[in-house]
Structure 1
Amino acid sequence: MEQTEDQSAALEFLARRDSYDPMPGDDPEHIATHGSHVFLAGNRAYKLKRAVCFPYMDYGSLERRRRFTEAELELNRRTAPDLYIGIRRLTRTPEGTLTFDGDGETVEVVLEMRRFSKDALLARMAENGTLTPALIERTADRIRAFHDSADSLSADQAPGAGSAGMHAVLEENFEEFGAQPKHFAPESVATYARDVWTTFKRLTPLLDRRVAEGWAKHCHGDLHLRNICLIDGEPTLFDGLEFNSLFACIDVLYDLAYFLSDLIVRERTDLANRAFNRYFVDGAYEGLACLPLFLSTRSAIRAKIMVSAAEAQEEESERATLLAQSRRSLAAAMEQITDIRPRLIGLGGFSGSGKSTLAGALAARLQPAPGAVHLRSDVIRKRLYGSAPTAPLPAEAYRSDVSARVYALMLERAETVLKAGYPVIMDAVNDRPEDREAMQTLARLLDIRFDGFWLDVPPNAMASRIAHRHGDASDATESVMRKQVAQGHGPLRSWTAIDASGPPESTLRTVLAGLTADD
């Protein structure tokens, strides 16, 4: 990092209580990152870009800092209009002191934002254990809505997308790794580089095809948990990248990958899998083959950024924490680029047998990251009717012809996902032998392993579970369940019947043991 200009006067001004009107009750809190200084004063936050020059980020002159501050305001108002207030100038008075928005020479520009509690950051929630599956799913909905609303870009407009964009990012990563052998062991980097470039070569046609198909957009670019907060109770994306279109004008799945990677590095693969499946609630799995490369690249970028952030810290404990995060991130990057053969898992059982609870827990345990695609018939049926996953459907939505359509769509999506290299869990009642056989036929055609599990639970236990459901996608009642029981499931053949009447953890252990048999 090269410091290009002296900003000490601006930093001293922003650190004083009496610089602000109204004056805050406490001294401003100063937060330093590798690219900015943030001062928290009263109910406002003021962000000053550091006068630094990196290969990927140049804030080296006042004019560049002004231009990029204006761009940051414009871009982030797309996702957080209530958070971004405006731009303030630091100007010099005739006496030589600094003030906000005076008539004198502009010395620096700062971005004024609405201040929020640190506890509103998803990163803080992840650290203190309050980040819930429901909030993660709402955040995934918000990310998907943001991506869907953005305009598609051509190859010329999206330098970070396609094979050319990814090649540039990868080359920069390895250049910076090579320049810091103290933090990135050359032997590990060499092994990682071999796997990355092999994967990149295989994916080059798909990366370019996704640009032609409209998946390159002006995205957030830095979508990790420290850049998502709750504003008025809603997940809000902020602090998107403005300084380098190589990082922001990218494939939407590359944007999503940083969010997922951050959860994985924090050892919340359960939440990463939830977000992954919620983002793809309506399918569109054709680009999934790119995700391992995208995830790994994001983890690698996080590794080098943690090193840069560590070097900006004054406290040794903070520096050590960030360097440990960098090491974990690089290890995750190396793991995420590995090639793993997909598998198909079928779960069957009458309503209330615990299929979806099992599928959700199981999906996060499978590789590659962020786990299996969980295809749930209840959710697919709701989306066919344009409804939210938990919205009740009319009785006509459960006609046999609709159910046949749901099962056919599940198979179609499963095939797409499996061809992309990800495991699939097909979660439905599956009480008809022909539906179970269709899954096995798909697995045989794709030459992959299939495991089918039928969950056996006494009817009264299923009735109790149904009675205690809240906010679930299933509309099945006890009456529906008892009709299913009376009809039966026919011969299970190669499917394995398991006792699922105990705690969910016990059922999960039984299934995991079955999945590892003969591996």
Structure 2
Amino acid sequence: MYGISSHGGPYVPIRAVKVPAVRDGRDFRGRCSLARCGFRRDPGRVTENRPFAAVRETHIGVVFLVGDRVYKLKKPVDMGFLDFSTPELRREACGREVALNRRLAPDVYLGVAQLSDVDDTPGESLVVMRRMPDDRRLSTLVRSSAPVRDAIGRLARVIAAFHTTAERGPHVDVEGTREALAGRWEASFAQVESVGGGVLDPDLLAEIEHRTRDFLAGRETLFQSRIDDGRVVDGHGDLIADDIFVLDDGPRVLDCLEFADRLRRLDGLDDIAFLAMDLERLGAPELGELLLDRYAEHTADPAPASLRAHYIAYRAFVRVKVACLRHAQGDASAADEARLYADIAVRHLRRGAVRLVLVGGLPGSGKTTIGGLLADRLGAVLLSSDRLRKELAGLDPGHHANAAYRDGIYTREHTTRTYAELLRRAGELLARGESVVLDASWSAEAERLLARDVAKRTSSGLVELRCAAPTAVTEARLRGRTGSLSDADPAIAQAMAAAADPWPDAVAVDTSDTPASALAEATRLVLG
């Protein structure tokens, strides 16, 4: 006799089944029939896709699906990260699973039942649940391209509300530190390196490790701010589309990570990023983006895009580790799965890289136009020396402060002060995970050295771009421009050109054509 998996795969063979007495939701000793336990055979609901009874076995338990109920039995195993070795520990684990999962699905987790043998001897504890309809599983709906955007919005609201009331405190916060996340990454790297030989491209794995460490190295301020803002919660820990059901009265989110508290204590964004990653894995990255956007709206979460991308990458690499372990145990098909998840991880690590981009050049070179367009394209913060210089002088940015070269608010002293403040603000933003575009002339090597130091200190990628155009073009721009914050004219531009230090580390961007073409080239140079 064989059961049929609710996930579409085969169950283990069932040779003989002894059905002990069970009563839903409370300890009960004695015998009872299926009818007394609330089961009624309904021929209309017993279909090829929903057998009346089935069994599913995992490495830590056995799940019995009978009619409209699910019974989950813990195996007597001790795997280090969980210990079900005694009846008392298994009973405690069942109670813990019910209590934690009732936070999101109180009407699904009915309680803990107690088995008894035919001689009334107390037996095993089981988690008792309502059986969910397989055809309403989120993963099934996504794979079939069913319209689920509204459901995704409702799900984001449910998870946001759950996180709002979730347990917090120092014992929870400790798992949200940069060091804790780095430790989990490093543990995964070690496991993949030990069992993933021949599965992943070594260069790809090296890139994932390098990009991860760079992001974490410079972002202590970001992670501390998340803790200070109360963003670290006792959450779900294992949000995947297979365990979410879209019902008419709202989603049901099942199977939180109940056996290891520390793995469930995490940044709320990390928690929901797991599901966003899983939706991308199912071929619907746009649904993952929608989920995270709606979650951010409901929680007023100011997280930078880099942190969102990092958590998606982290969750993908957790699945890389699991797939590599399965492959090492003989599952050949897990190799392709590991590569799929690795591609998701590296793609988001690249997308989430924190960058400092210097966009420089002489007056009229188009640096301010390109700097603004590039910041929009990258989702970066734009800081402009022209605006900041006047702010520091107590002037309205639109006020013209025309002066001779290195006179007025353009003295060496005021210029030094302007660049120092420009880089101080950039450093703070980079430490919080925000990429920054700095629009300034960058004509002095001393100022560029300070910028390089900021990038190094915050483990941020540095790109130096020098906008350039023929003199006739730049002079025409200076004479004809309106609404610019700059006070430079052709004479000042000539004086700046004569005094500028060589800039061999910069890559030239030709701005003599359209802004669109210059932006395309600048974007290519930044993103590679």
Q: 1:15 to 1:116 in 2, by over 3 A?
A: farther
Alpha-carbon offset, residue 75 of structure 1: 0.8
Partner in structure 2 of residue 151 of structure 1: 167
Give the counterpart letter for 2:302 in structure 1: Y
Q: How does 1:306-455 map to 2 (within 5 A)?
A: 306=323, 322-338=334-350, 339-340=352-353, 420-421=433-434
Deviation digits for residues 192-214 of structure 1 (CA, Å, limit 9, x no counterpart): 22322222222233223322331
Decide whether the 8 Å contact of 2:20 with 2:118 is kept in 1: no
**Aligned to 2:89, which of 64, 73, 81?**
64
Q: Kindly indicate whether the alpha-carbon contact (under 8 Å) linking 1:65 and 1:109 is maintained by their aligned counterparts in 2.
A: yes
Which amino acid in the other structure matches residue 227 of structure 2?
V
Check whether the contact 2:176–2:266 (CA below 8 A) recurs between aligned residues.
yes
1:119 aligned partner, one-letter code: D
- Number of residues of Structure 1 aligned to a counterpart in Structure 2: 354
**Corresponding residue of 1:164:** 179
What is the match of residue 241 of structure 2? 225
Tell me which of 70, 75, 81 is aligned to 2:100. 75
Q: Return 5+ residue gaps in structure 2 as ranges.
A: 1-11, 23-31, 357-376, 382-427, 437-462, 466-481, 485-514
Instruction: Please give the alpha-carbon distance, in whole angstroms, between the structure 2 residues aligned to 1:272 and 1:448.
Output: 33
Q: In structure 2, give the amino acid aligned to 1:80.
A: A
CA shift, 1:219, in A, is: 0.3
CA-atom RMSD in angstroms: 4.3
For residues 342 and 120 of structure 1, do their structure 2 counterparts lie closer, same or farther at Cα, with a shift above 3 Å needed? farther
User: Corresponding residue for 2:322?
Assistant: 305
1:299-353 CA distances to partner (integer Å, 9 max, x unpaired)?
Answer: 11122334566789xxx9xx5655533321122112222254689xxxxxxxxxx
Note the C-alpha offset of 1:237: 1.6
TM-score scaled by length of structure 2: 0.57
Q: Is 1:296 aligned with 2:331?
A: no
Letter in 1 for 2:182: H
Q: 1:175 to 1:36 in 2, by over 3 A?
A: farther
State the AA in 2 paired with 1:82.
D
SS at 1:208's partner residue? helix
Looking at structure 1, the residues matched to 133 and 483 of structure 2 have their Cα atoms a distance apart, in angstroms, of 55
2:188 aligns with: 173
8 A contact 2:166–2:233 mirrored in 1: yes
2:145 equivalent to 1:129: yes
Q: Give, in whole Å, the separation in 2 of the partners of 1:73 and 1:288.
A: 35
Checking the alignment, whether the CA contact within 8 Å between 1:76 and 1:238 is kept in structure 2 is: yes
| Distance across 2 between alignment mates of 1:492 and 1:44 | 70
1:37 pairs with 40, 55, 62, which one? 62
Partner of 2:275: 259
| Contact map agreement 1:258 1:298 (CA 8 A) in 2 | yes
Shift of 1:172: 2.4
Q: Deviations over 1:457-508 (max 9, x none)?
A: xxxxxxxxxxxxxxxxxxxxxxxxxxxxxxxxxx999xxxxxxxxxxxxxxx
Deviations 1:49-95 (A, max 9, x none): 3444445344344333222211110011111111111111223332x
Task: Say if 1:311 and 1:33 are closer, same or farther in 2 by CA, change over 3 A.
Answer: farther
CA distance in 2, matches of 1:514, 1:265: 35
Cα 1:420–1:33 change in 2 (3 A) is same
- What whole-Å deviation, never above 9, does each CA across 1:360-402 have from its counterpart, x for those lacking one? xxxxxx88xxx999xxxxxxxxxxxxxxxxxxxxxxxxxxxxx
Q: For the Cα contact (< 8 Å) 2:281–2:341, is it kept in 1?
A: yes
Work out the CA distance in 1 between the residues paired with 2:435 and 2:242.
28
Once residues 72 and 513 of structure 1 are traced to their aligned partners in structure 2, the CA distance between those partners, rounded to angstroms, is: 57
For residue 219 of structure 2, give the secondary structure of its aligned residue in structure 1.
helix
- Distance in 2 (CA, whole Å) between partners of 1:20 and 1:253 is 43
CA distance in 1, matches of 2:302, 2:148: 25
Aligned partner of 1:86 in structure 2 is: 111
Cα 1:133–1:145, aligned 2, differ >3 Å: closer, same or farther? same
Q: Is the 8 A contact 2:55 2:63 kept in 1?
A: yes
Question: Which moves more between the two structures, 253-262 or 224-233?
Answer: 224-233
Quote the offset at 1:515 in angstroms.
Answer: 6.9
1:132-161 deviation line (CA, Å, top 9, x unaligned): 22221221111111111223222x234532
**Residues 27 and 157 (structure 1 numbering): CA distance in 2 closer, same or farther, change over 3 Å?**
same
Point out the more displaced range, 30-39 or 72-81: 30-39
Cα deviation, residue 218, structure 1: 0.8
**C-alpha separation in 1, matches of 2:112 and 2:15:** 15
Aligned to 1:478: none
Structure 1 residues 310 and 198: alpha-carbon distance in aligned structure 2, compared to 1, 3 A threshold: same
Residue matched to 1:235: 251
Q: What is the CA–CA distance in structure 1 between the aligned matches of 2:15 and 2:344, rounded to whole Å?
A: 39
**Distance of 2:33 and 2:70 partners within structure 1:** 13
Name the SS of the counterpart of 1:151 in structure 2.
coil
Say whether the 8 Å CA contact 1:342–1:448 is kept in structure 2. no
User: CA 1:32 to 1:514, structure 2 compared with 1: closer, same or farther past 3 Å?
Assistant: farther
Aligned equivalents of 1:186 and 1:115: distance in 2? 42
Instruction: For residue 514 of structure 1, report the CA deviation from its aligned partner.
Output: 9.9
- C-alpha change, 1:233 and 1:193, in structure 2 (3 Å) is same
Indicate the SS of the match to 2:169. coil
Q: Aligned residues: percent identity?
A: 23
What CA distance in whole angstroms lies between the structure 2 residues aligned with 1:48 and 1:113?
12
- Quick check: which has more Rg, 1 or 2? 2
Amino acid at match of 1:274: L
Alignment gaps of 5+ in structure 1: 1-6, 95-102, 344-365, 374-414, 424-446, 450-490, 494-510
> How far, CA to CA, are the matches of 2:103 and 2:15 in structure 1?
29
Matched to 1:295, the amino acid is I
When normalised by structure 1's length, the TM-score is 0.58
